[in-house]
């Protein structure tokens, strides 16, 4: 199972280029996440960086410091990353 952020994709428009028109679709995130299990104590989930950035949970990790082969494909990572979404109970020291 793969978790993903739900996308809304608009009808295509055309971008004129000297090589002819290129179809372009506007994509926005619909705000929902599909396929992400509920938190389970003692369980970590490996997800995409985009999903980890969008969902403020401390059990989500993403590949970080990727190692790539000669053609640019990811073959492994040196670490896992986790976003600091802040403590919702902690007062923002930058607030005016």
Task: Spell out the long-range contacts of 25-34 with Cβ–Cβ below 8 A and sequence spacing 24 or more.
Answer: 29/5, 29/54, 30/5, 30/6, 31/6, 32/5, 32/6, 33/3, 33/4, 33/5, 33/6, 34/3, 34/4, 34/5, 34/6
Per-residue pLDDT tens for 43-71?
A: 999 999 999 998 999 999 999 999 999 99
Chain-centre distance for alpha carbon 44:
16
Number of structural domains the chain divides into = 1
- Determine contact, residues 47/34, Cβ cutoff 8 Å: no
CA count, 13 A, side-chain hemisphere, 38: 1
Do the domain assignments include residue 54?
Answer: yes
Do the domain assignments include residue 34?
Answer: yes
- Determine contact, residues 58/82, Cβ cutoff 8 Å: yes
Above 60 in pLDDT, residue 90? Answer: no
**Residue 70 structural domain:** 4-81
Do the domain assignments include residue 30?
Answer: yes
> Which positions ≥6 away from 39 have C-beta within 8 Å?
57, 59
pTM for the structure as a whole: 0.69
Do the domain assignments include residue 11?
Answer: yes
Do the domain assignments include residue 89?
Answer: no
């Amino acid at each position: 199972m793969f978790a993903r952020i739900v996308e809304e994709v608009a009808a295509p428009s055309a971008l004129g280029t000297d090589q002819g028109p290129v179809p372009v679709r506007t994509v926005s995130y619909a705000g929902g996440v599909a396929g992400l299990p509920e938190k389970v104590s003692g369980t970590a989930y490996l997800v995409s960086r985009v999903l980890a950035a969008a969902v403020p949970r401390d059990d989500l990790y993403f590949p970080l410091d990727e190692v790539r082969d000669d053609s640019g494909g990811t073959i492994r990572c040196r670490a896992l990353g986790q976003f600091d979404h802040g403590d919702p109970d902690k007062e923002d020291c930058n607030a005016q």
